[in-house]
Amino acid sequence: MKSLSLHQLYKACVLKEFPFKTTRQLEPLAEIVGQNRAQEAVRFALAMPHGGYNVYAVGRNGLGKRTMMLRYLEHHADTNQQCHDWCYVANFEEPREPKVLKLPAGRGSQLRQDMDRLMGRLVKVVPQTFDSDSFLERAEQLKNEYAGKQDEALEKVARQAKRKKISLTVTTPGGYRLVAMNGDDPHTAETFAALTPEQRDQFEADIDKLEKKLRQTLRKVADWEQEYAERQQLLNQETLESVTGHQLDELVARYGDQPDVVAYLEAVRTDLADNLDIFLDENEEQAAIAYASLDKKLPRRYQINVLVHQKTGDVPVVVEDNPTYHNLFGYVENVTYKGTVFTDFTLVRPGSLHRANGGYLLMDAIKVLEQPFVWDGLKRALRSRSMQINSLEREMTLSGTISLEPEAIPLDVKIVLFGDRETWMLLQEYDAEFAELFRVTADFENEMDRTPESQLQYAKFIASLVKEKGLLHCNRKAVARVIEYSARMAEHQDRLSLHAADIANLLRESDYWARQAGAKLIDADHIEQALASARYRSSRIRDQFYESIRDGSTLLSTSGECVGQINALSVLSTGGFEFGLANRITATTYYGGGDILDIERDAKLGGNLHSKGVMILSAWLASRFAVTDPLHLSASITFEQNYGEVDGDSASLAELCALISSLSGIAIRQDLAITGSVNQFGEVQPIGGVNEKVEGFYQACQLTGARPHQGVIVPTINVQNLMLDAEVLDAVRRRQFAVYAVASVDDAVSLLMGRPAGEPDRDGLYPRGSVYGAIQQRLEKMREHERQEQQAAQQDNKEPSVH
C-alpha cells in the first residue's frame, strides 16, 4: 500500500491566485467574512417595524458576532430614524411623579442650559427686585391700607363698647375679650355682684350685642386679610412677571414646536410666584443637597434632568457589558442630609435601555440571565414597550420607604443578545415568552468553504483586522500562511475557520515579532514565529508527557513487531492547547465463550462512546468467525498505563487490530500507529484531531529513535482533514516518515501484519496464508477438540457399568 503524497498531507495556497503584494493594496471588508446567513437574519430583524423582532445571535465566542453587528449597524442603520433627548422635570401637582419630556436630539441639553441660565439670573435678580424701594413702598402701602381698615373697624367697636362702659381687648388673631368696667378699672367678682340685678342684666345684654358686632367685624377683618394676601400675591406676580415674563416668553417662543415643553414653561411661570421663598430665603438644606449630589447651587425645583442626551442625530448603538438591573433600567439616587434620606427628580439616572431608545442595544445573554430580576424586567419592558424606573430595593423587599415613580418612557429599541447554542435551546424550551420576543435567530457559521474567491475575501478580512488593530501590513506569503493556519483550525483542507478572535491574536503576535525584528511588513516567518511561541507557552504539560516517553517511564515501542500489541493515538487538551499522544493497546485471548472483556469499562475508566466501540468489535468478530459455530475464544483488551478516563471510539480500529493479532498469533508492526473508528461491517469511519495525532506519533518516534518506515495509518475519509506541520512534512519529504490511509479493517490488517487479511470463498473459508485464515484454523482446531471431547463423553455414558 502506498503512503500519501505531500500534496495530500497539506494544501498550500497558490500565491499566483493573489492579485496583490501586501494587504495595503486590499480594501478592508465592511462586513464579517463568511457570515451571509447571519447577516441576512440581522438585516431582516432590523428592517421589521413590528415588535418582537429582536435578535439572538448564536455561535461560540470568538466568531466576531459583536464586531459584525457593530459594523453592520455602522453601515446599514436607518439614517431616517429619529432619535430623541429625554428629560425629567418636576411635576408641580404631584411631586412624587416627575414628568417626562421628549425633545429632538440635542434640544434637551439646550433646554437645560436655557433653564439654568434663567434660574441663575433669577437667583440674583429676584432678591434685588423684592428688596428694592419701589416694591417695598408698594407692599408697605398695601399693608398699611389693609391695616388701617382693620384698625378702624375694631376701633369703631371699641368706641361703642366704651360708651356702654365695657372694655374691648383684642389678643391673638380672632381672640378678643369684653369686660364690664367699674370706672377706670374692670369689675371684680365682688363689685359685679354688688350691682343691682338691673345693672348686671344691662351689662350682659350690652356684651352680647357687642360680641355679635365684634364677630361681624372680625369676619370682615379675615376677608380683608385674604384680600390683602391675594393682592400681595398679585403684586408679587406682577413684580416677578416684570423680571421673568419676557424671558419665559422667549423660551416659549423658542420651543413653540414642542407642546409639552411649552406646557411645562407655563407651569413654571405659575409656580414661581407660589414659591418665592426659594429665591428669597437662604436655604441651607437646598445648598447641602446640591453639594452632596454634585449639582449646581440652583433651585432644584426648576432644573431639567436630561436623562438621555444624543449629541448627534445618529441612531444610538449601545453595548452593555455589565447588564445589572440599575445599569439596564436606570435608578433613583439618594442623598443623606442630617440623617434623612432625600431624593427628587434630578437624581433619576438613566440605564442602557434609555440610552439605546430609538436604536439598538447589544448584550451578552449569559450576563443578562445571571443578574437577578434583569431578564424578567427586560421582557416586561419589551412587552409593554415602555420603561418604568423602579427601585430594585422595592423589587427585593417589602420596605415602604418613600420613593419616586417617574412617568414611564415609551420604548422603541431592538435588542441583540449574543450567546451560545445551549443557552438558546434552554430559553426556547423553558421560557414561553422568549420565542415571541426574540423571533429572529442569527446563526453564525464556524467555517466557510475554501475557494480562490473565498481566499481573496479572507485576505480582505485580514486587511480589515490589520487596519482595525493598527498592525503592520502583511505580504502575500504571510496572508497565505494565515489562510493555511485557518484551514488547520477548521481541520479541513477545503474549509477556513471563521474564528476571528484566533486570527486577530495571531496577527497581533506576528506584528510583535515583526517589530522586534525591525521589519516593515509581516512575513510568513513572523507568522511561524508567533505560532511557535504560542505553542511553547502552552506546551508544558505536553512536554511532561513527552519526557516520560523519552526516559522510558511510558512504555512505547516504535520498532519491531509484537503479537496483540499496537500503537493507538489520542488527543489531549490543556486549556485550549491540543496535542497528540501515542498509547499502547494490548489484547490477550483465551479459551472461553467469545466475550470481549473491556478492562477500561470494568474499571470504570471507559466512557459510553468507548464502551460502544468495544461492543461493535464483538459484533464484527462474531459476524466473521461465529456465523454457524460458537466462538470459543474470549479476549481482554486495555489501554496500558492509562490512569484516567478514556472516551470516544477513535481507538476502536486499533483495538480490533490488536484482537485480530492476538487471535491469529500474527505480530503487528510497532513502527506504525493507527487511529480510526470502525463499524459493524468493518468500514473505517472518520475521527477528530487527525493532525495532532499524526504529529504526536511523529514526536514519539523522534523521542524513542527515528527509523525508516515509521508512520501513521488514518481513515481515508480523514485525508481531507490533513494540514500537518512543517517538521512532519519535511520528514515525509525525506522518506523518514509516512502517512497511510485505509478504508476498511482488511486494509489496516494487511498493512500492519504484512500479509493479506483474506477474502472468504463460497463456503466461508479464508485462504490459509491470510490473517483471517489463521484465526479460522485456530478456531477449527478448538472446535474439533471440543467435538472429540463431547464424543468421548458420550462413549463413556454408553458403556455398561461393572458391579
Cell numbers found for residue 275: 414659591
Where does residue 552 fall: left (phi above 0), alpha (psi -120 to 50 degrees), or beta otherwise? left
The span from the first CA to the last CA of the chain, in angstroms, equals: 70
Cα angle: 205, vertex 206, 212; to 5 degrees: 95
Task: Give one DSSP letter per residue of 553-595, joined into a string.
Answer: SS----SSEETTEEEEEEEEEETTEEEEEEEEEEEEEEESSS-
693: annotated active-site residue: yes
- Per the listing, cell 449646581 goes with 296
Torsion of CA 293, 295, 298, 301, to 10 degrees: -50
Closest CA to 485 of 725, 760, 298: 725
| Angle (nearest 5°) at CA 23 between 6 and 500 | 70
State phi, psi for 633 to the nearest 5 degrees: -115, 125
Q: How far apart are CA 114 and CA 83, in angstroms?
A: 21
State the catalytic residue, choosing from 618, 636, 650, 750.
Answer: 650
> Rounded distance, CA 335 to CA 632, Å?
88
Beta bridge partner(s), residue 145: none
Say whether 650 is catalytic. Answer: yes
Task: Report angle CA 37, 42, 48 to the nearest 5 degrees.
Answer: 130
d(CA 126, CA 114): 17
Amino acid at 624: R
Q: Hey, which residues does 318 pair with through a beta bridge?
A: 361
Cα–Cα distances (Å) from 258 to 176, 355, 755, in that order, read 57, 21, 94
Which one of the listed residues 11, 65, 99, 693 is annotated catalytic? 693
Instruction: Label residue 633 exposed, middle or buried (CB < 10 Å: 0-12, 13-18, 19+).
Output: buried
Q: Active-site positions?
A: 650, 693
